[in-house]
Structure formats: structure tokens, C-alpha cells
Amino acid sequence: MASSPVRVRMAPSPTGYFHMGSARTSLFNWLYARHTGGRFILRIEDTDQKRYHPQALTDIFESLRWLGLDWDEGPEVGGDYGPYFQSQRLPIYQEHARKLVEADAAYYCYCSEERLTALRVEQRARGQTPGYDRHCRALTARQRAEYEAQGIVPVVRLKAPTEGTVTFHDLIRGDITVDVHTLDDLVLLKSDGFPTYHLANVVDDHLMEITHVLRGDEWIASTPRHVLLYEAFGWKQPVFAHLPVILSPDGGKLSKRKGAASVMDYQRAGYLPEALFNFLALLGWAPGDEREKMSIKELIDSFGLEKVSPKASVFDEKKLEWLNGQYLAERSSDSLYEEVVKEWGSRGWVDPGTLDRGYVLSVIDLMKVRSRTMKELVESCSYYFVDPQTYEKEAV
């Protein structure tokens, strides 16, 4: 019997800039879909309305398109599994939460935030790990009615098992087992009717028929909870693969100064999309030979999850600059001409209409092999055409 076609997804939240970690995760999902002949789905996880920012949504679309990561289903494209914005799927989550309660796999919790805060303080004072004490797990119908008569709107919590372990298989890391005592009864549906990440994620992945979940290793801790949810619904789990963390060259967490800038920041800094694509593909994955510079077709043909390492990868800015310089040197001078001249004009350095195209092309021929970024190329070529006083005025 033939296996189901691969369906992978990228599900960013429009709450901030589209950073390198999100770009690498998107790229691995896209490569796996293209390598297997599957489909790459874009889903927007916009249920955090307090942190939602329209510009962040625009940044997601622009970043993916600039890198060449076209999606087969999702916003602005459509598909048979929409809506692709979670904020437009609230009735779906509410219905699934209700079904879990009816199946006695979840329950209504009426605890106030004040009680939960006091509980956490008390647990910490005892040296315990903070967690919900399942106060509402065994309420009678009469007790629930009394709470509701007071106008208290409950949340819905999962009835997690109280003993045993949860095991799931990760394609990159192997079997991972967690004791259920480390998992409390997580909230699935909040009192405002919005789902938590866990409920929305599992419901959407199932309904959209996602076969493989490729995401960052920061989500490993959430996966046992998701496994419990799949079991509660009686659904088949997708294949999980958690990608290695990306570190700065000094071994620390990426910061804005150490590679955590947005994708579009790199565009503005003069990097080429094919260079950043190539660089990101090698963060945690290797083709199995000595190649470092690879075309998109070569990456698609070679890509496989069995070659993804569980070890942390390092964001080496020098390597990215080197790769970008290689791609820049290979670009035809004709293809670079318009961008160089347009930038000169936008800075007010020259009147593009007065330039000798042939001479400009000869300068680009000379300087592109010495430049690491488009920004460097624009500035180094300008020395042949721009009065030095222009730079002095600009500096002032």
C-alpha cells in the first residue's frame, strides 16, 4: 500500500521579525517537500492577539518569497484545508475542546488567576516544581453549576494521565521518553474562547493532514503533551523531527548582533537570496561530501532528514560572507547593473541618465570579484564615478 504524500507546514506567529531560526525551519520544510514531491503549507498562528503586529505578517510573506520559499497552500494562495489563519478557526478549536470534555478526556477548570498565582508561590516555597494541582478535575455537576452561576467562565484542561510515561520517536534524535509526573493538566482552551498553542497546533496538523512536523528543538518539551492530545482524540500522530539549535560563533544564543537579525535585514545589507538559502541549508544538515556551495536544485536532490544532525549548528557570519561573495562573483554584470545604478541614484550620488553603461559594466566586472555583498559592490564601484566630496557631505 502506497504511503501518504508528504505534507509539511511552517506555522509562524506574526509577533516579531522573521529571524534566522524561523527561516532555517521554513527552508528545511520546503526542501523536504520538494525532495519528496510533497506539499509545503504556510499556516499563520495569530491567536496571540495582544502581540499580533500587521507588519510582522508582511515580513513573513516578504522573507519567504525573497528566499524563494513558495508555499503550495496558505494565505494568498488558498487550498482545500483552510482557513490558514488560526484566528479564523476559533469555532473549530472550541468544538474539538467540547468533544474532549464530553469524552471525559478534558474538563472545565474554574480556578481564578489569584488562586493559581498563590498555588505557584506555595509550591516554590516548598521547593516543588510549579504546576496545576488538578483542583477542578473531579468537580460534580452541581459544583460546576455553582461556579457558572457566579458568572465564572472556565478554561478547558486536558486530563493527563497520573502515572506512566510518554514515548515518541524523533527522526533526528530517536526515541524520547518522559515521565507523566512532569506533565500537568495543560490548558487547551482559554476563557476568552481562544485556544492555547498546544490545542490549535494539534488540531490543525491533524485536519490539514500534516504528515511530518519539522520544527526547532525548543518544541521537544511540548511534544509529549501533543502526543497525549493525539491519543485523547484517537488520532494518528505525525512524524516528528526536531531541528538542532543555532548558536552564535561564541557558543551563546543568537542575538541581534550575532546572526539573529531578520531575513530582510540581510537583504538590506546586500546579501543575495541564493547565498542565504545555501548557507541556511547547511545549518544542521550536510550533503555527505565536501560541497559547501550548492545550487537550489542540488540541495533539493540531496536533502534528507537522515542527514540532519542533532548537534547544535553555528551561525558563522564569515562563512555567509564568503558564500555571498562566491555567488556575487558569478552573477553577470548585466544583471547587477540596474541594482547598482539604481542605488547610486537613490542616494543622490549620480544622475543615472548620464552614465556610460559600457564603462559601468567594466567597473562592475572588476569589483564584483572583490566584494562580499551588494552593498560593498555599490560603494566600491561608485569610487570611479562619484565625487569624494559627496561622501564627505553624506558623512556630515
Looking at the fold, whether 363 and 223 belong to one and the same domain comes out as no
pLDDT classification of 260: cutoffs 50, 70, 90: low
In a domain, 265, yes or no: yes
Q: Please give the average per-residue pLDDT across 210-224, as a whole number.
A: 96
**Catalytic (active site) residue 159:** no
In a domain, 147, yes or no: no
pLDDT of res. 379? 86
H-helix segments, the chain: 20-36, 54-67, 90-102, 113-125, 141-149, 197-207, 223-233, 263-268, 273-281, 296-302, 317-330, 333-346, 357-367, 374-382, 388-395
- The total number of structural domains in the chain stands at 3
Over pLDDT 70: what percentage of the chain?
Answer: 95
pLDDT of res. 1? 40
Q: Supply the range of the domain harboring residue 385.
A: 331-395
In a domain, 119, yes or no: no
pLDDT of res. 396? 40
pLDDT tens readout for residues 328-362: 999 988 988 888 888 787 787 877 777 788 988 99
User: Among 175, 209, 242, where does a domain finish?
Assistant: 242
Looking at the fold, whether 28 and 55 belong to one and the same domain comes out as yes
Options 253, 256, 307, 342, the catalytic residue: 256
Question: How big is the chain by its Cα radius of gyration, in Å?
Answer: 26
DSSP code for 246: E
77 touches 71 (CB < 8 A)? yes
Q: What is the mean pLDDT of the chain?
A: 92
Quick check: 392 pLDDT over 60? no
CATH code at 296?
A: 1.10.1160.10
Angle 18-337-386 (CA atoms, 0-180°, nearest 5)? Answer: 100
In a domain, 215, yes or no: yes
Looking at the fold, whether 225 and 364 belong to one and the same domain comes out as no
Phi and psi (nearest 5°) for 331? -65, 145
CA distance 19 to 256: 9
pLDDT tens readout for residues 124-151: 999 998 999 999 999 999 999 999 999 9
Question: Which single residue is written with the C-alpha cell 490539514?
Answer: 208
User: Among 329, 360, 386, where does a domain finish?
Assistant: 329
pLDDT of res. 381? 82
In a domain, 182, yes or no: no
Q: Which among 190, 195, 196 is positioned nearest to 222, based on CA atoms?
A: 196
Phi and psi (nearest 5°) for 99? -65, -35
